[in-house]
């Protein structure tokens, strides 16, 4: 439908040839929060052919300030983010094929989603998953675009396997600690700026305008009025275990991925079962109803104890709200879910 994309086709960097290329590309978006919803909407409106969105969480009230695809009804009903995002995105552009997956990204899931993908958009909130993305991108030769926000500060960087330094080159091991959106907050303008930088690079990659790609890592603080561009070309490490000639992709090893994870600033612990499983939510709800209050929708169930709230997904993953103690969370998990 030429009229839909007429202004984009008029742009000298895209034109009809670029629009055709864009319509034949598949983008994988990891995370459906602030950056994920922003990236997804821009690329769907631009006419990307297919988009796969992956996220482990559901919509909460605190999301509505900056996560642009969600509504109060989504928060009231605890709808998984990818389900709401898919519905809104299809209402924006029905010609785009959109797949939604309610899963927590592990190395196994990452390698499952990567085949056939032309670009990976990072919209995550932790470096463990980013390092998994980085290793998978290097292993399969897929470009990916890093994006990060906290408070009024944002960062963006496009990683091109075989050419640019990878995230492992830049960061070494996974960063521990530091400010997060849950501890330092976040304002919406920085979200929009990072989305703008990420999607500009995405359009260049998807329309194969490689010569126009930014070769730098950019960072900015919209409140303090700071902006910097860093040439990272010399940071590429010959012996990098993720992108060097003898790469071992260490972050795709399952033993390097946490099964119990404290979600920083949320008074919540996530627990994944030791092996993949599919929970029958109806049966589980019936069993838990004898012990406390249960609320359920088609995607998850919530079980409330005196001081904790357990949210169970079909893949067996559980969010234990009301504690930051992993041992206590595991105890509640085994007590109520076996």
How many domains, in total, are found in the chain? 2
Q: Which whole-number Å values give the CA distances from 93 to 41, 54, 171, 204, 276, in the listed order?
A: 9, 19, 38, 21, 34
Segment 266-312, tens digit of pLDDT: 789 998 876 667 888 998 888 888 888 899 998 999 999 888 999 99
Q: Is residue 102 part of a domain?
A: yes
Residue 258 has pLDDT above 60, yes or no: no
For residue 171, what pLDDT is reported? 87
Q: In CATH, what number is assigned to the domain containing residue 324?
A: 3.30.310.10
Segment 22-76, tens digit of pLDDT: 999 999 999 999 999 999 999 999 999 999 999 988 999 999 999 999 999 999 9
| 316 & 199 share domain | no
| 190 & 331 share domain | no
Q: Is residue 1 part of a domain?
A: no
Residue 75 contacts residue 295 (beta carbons within 8 Å): no
Higher pLDDT: 127 or 249? It is 249
| 313 & 245 share domain | no
* Six token digits for residue 126: 């932790």
| 279 & 225 share domain | no
For residue 255, what pLDDT is reported? 59
| 194 & 303 share domain | no
What is the rounded distance in angstroms from the CA atom of residue 163 to the CA atom of residue 141? 10
| 76 & 33 share domain | yes
| 248 & 267 share domain | no
* Six token digits for residue 295: 């609320």
Where would I find the H helices in 141-222? 167-171, 181-184, 188-206
| 111 & 233 share domain | yes
Buried b (16+ CB within 10 A) or exposed e, 213-233: beebbbbbebeeeeeeeeebe
Domain that holds residue 332: 258-337
Q: Which of 24-28, 236-240, 244-248, 264-268 has the lowest mean pLDDT?
A: 264-268
**All residues at 6 or more sequence positions from 301 whose CB lies less than 8 Å from its CB, including other chains:** 281, 284, 285, 288, 294, 295, 311, 312
Residue at a domain's end among 238, 255, 272: 255
Q: Is residue 161 part of a domain?
A: yes
| 39 & 171 share domain | yes
Q: In CATH, what number is assigned to the domain containing residue 144?
A: 3.40.50.720
| 134 & 199 share domain | yes
| 93 & 136 share domain | yes
| 100 & 208 share domain | yes
Q: Is residue 310 part of a domain?
A: yes
H or E segment to which residue 287 belongs:
helix 281-288
- Residue 283's SS3 state is helix
């Amino acid at each position: 439908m030429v009229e839909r994309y007429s202004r984009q086709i008029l742009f000298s960097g895209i034109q009809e040839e670029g629009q055709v290329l864009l319509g034949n590309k598949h983008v994988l978006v990891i995370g459906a929060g602030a950056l994920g919803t922003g990236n997804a909407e821009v690329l769907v409106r631009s006419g990307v052919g297919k988009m796969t969105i992956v996220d482990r969480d559901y919509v909460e009230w605190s999301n509505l300030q900056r996560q642009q695809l969600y509504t109060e009804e989504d928060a009231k009903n605890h709808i998984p983010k990818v389900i709401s995002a898919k519905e809104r995105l299809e209402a924006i552009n029905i010609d785009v094929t959109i797949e939604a997956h309610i899963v927590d990204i592990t190395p196994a899931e990452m390698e499952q989603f990567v085949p056939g993908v032309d670009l990976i958009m990072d919209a995550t909130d932790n470096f463990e998953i980013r390092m998994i993305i980085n290793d998978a991108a290097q292993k399969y030769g897929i470009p990916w675009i890093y994006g990060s926000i906290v408070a009024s500060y944002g960062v963006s960087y496009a990683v091109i396997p075989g050419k640019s330094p990878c995230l492992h080159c830049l960061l070494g091991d996974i960063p521990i600690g530091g400010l997060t959106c849950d501890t330092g907050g976040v304002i919406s303008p920085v979200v929009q700026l990072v989305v703008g930088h990420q999607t500009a690079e995405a359009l260049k990659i998807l329309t194969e305008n490689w010569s126009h790609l930014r070769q730098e890592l950019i960072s900015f603080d919209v409140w303090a009025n700071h902006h910097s561009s860093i040439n990272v070309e010399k940071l590429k490490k010959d012996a990098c275990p993720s992108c060097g000639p003898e790469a071992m992709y260490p972050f795709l090893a399952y033993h390097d991925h946490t099964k119990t994870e404290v979600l920083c600033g949320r008074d919540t612990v996530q627990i994944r079962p030791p092996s993949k499983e599919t929970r029958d939510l109806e049966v589980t709800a019936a069993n838990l109803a004898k012990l406390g209050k249960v609320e359920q929708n088609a995607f998850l169930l919530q079980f409330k104890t005196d001081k904790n709230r357990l949210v169970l997904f079909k893949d067996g993953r559980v969010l234990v709200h009301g504690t930051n103690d992993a041992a206590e969370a595991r105890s509640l998990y085994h007590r109520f879910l076996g």
